[in-house]
Amino acid sequence: MLAEHPSVALPNLLPVFPLTGAVLLPFGHLPLNIFEPRYIHMIDDALGSSRLIAMIQPRVPDSGLVANDAALYDIGTVGRIIQFSDPGNGRYLITLEGLSRFRVKSVSFIDPERGYRSVEADFEPFRHDLDPNKHDEEPSRDRIIELMKAYFNEQEIDADWDIVNSAPFEALVASLAMSCPFAPEEKQALLQCDSHEDRAQMLIALFEMSGDAGQNFDRVKH
């Protein structure tokens, strides 16, 4: 089973870290390498207060530094810093644990001198995110794992299959949604799925559309 979050108060105003291709799901863990001065300031400030920051993707994919006026998607996820290290080279290495998705009500600067933005967050549509989703059934688990094997082989991605096979199904689905090299808009669609089951079905569709993965799965079945 997924671990339950302790009771946590989520502030309506959150510092925001926009990053193309990175989504955070509730109960998921996301490692980040922080090096821009504005986001070093953000982590310093978060560590001194709630340890919470918001992850969200810019609407226009950007492989470089995201501009402070870049338009953002309407839905992101608040995460709590659960691991932090300072290697001493001007970078921070952190890990975020996903708590809840939110809908953006507005975007603004917290402090121009600190250089990062904040979002006013509405958590009401995602109140269920703070509770662990417990499922006795694991719909399509075998199919997802077979498609995952074909996809990972095609993408030359290594995996510990013993861990994969023993992982709780929801944790497996969340991990795949966060870590697979899908297009940014595909990752956003996975993030915005209404339910765990919907996300699993979308994963299946993405694996099947990836090319050889769907064909390989058909061969496996026969």
Q: Tell me the per-residue pLDDT of 4-32, one tens digit each, with 9 for 90 and over.
A: 455 678 999 999 999 999 999 988 899 99
Residue 27 lies in a domain: yes
What pLDDT shows up at residue 4?
Answer: 47
CA distance 218 to 222: 7
Query: Do 42 and 100 belong together in one domain?
Result: yes
Q: Which residues pair with 8 in a beta bridge?
A: none
CA distance 178 to 120: 24
Query: Do 155 and 56 belong together in one domain?
Result: no
Structure confidence by residue, pLDDT tens digits, 112-154: 789 999 999 999 999 888 776 555 566 688 899 999 999 899 8
The pTM for the full model equals 0.84
Residue 5 lies in a domain: no
Query: Do 32 and 119 belong together in one domain?
Result: yes
Residue 3 has pLDDT above 80, yes or no: no
50-64, 69-83, 199-213: segment of lowest average pLDDT: 199-213
42-46, 75-79, 93-97, 167-171: segment of lowest average pLDDT: 167-171
Choose the final residue of a domain: 86, 107, 129. Answer: 129
Query: Do 90 and 17 belong together in one domain?
Result: yes
Residue 180 lies in a domain: yes
Query: What's the domain range around 208?
Result: 141-221
What pLDDT shows up at residue 117?
Answer: 94
Residue 78 lies in a domain: yes
CA distance 173 to 167: 10
CA distance 20 to 57: 5
What's the total number of domains in the chain? 2
Residue 97 has pLDDT above 80, yes or no: yes
What pLDDT shows up at residue 171?
Answer: 83
Query: Do 25 and 94 belong together in one domain?
Result: yes
Query: Do 38 and 122 belong together in one domain?
Result: yes
Query: Do 118 and 27 belong together in one domain?
Result: yes
Nearest to 79 by CA among 17, 169, 168, 167: 17
Nearest to 144 by CA among 102, 205, 99: 205
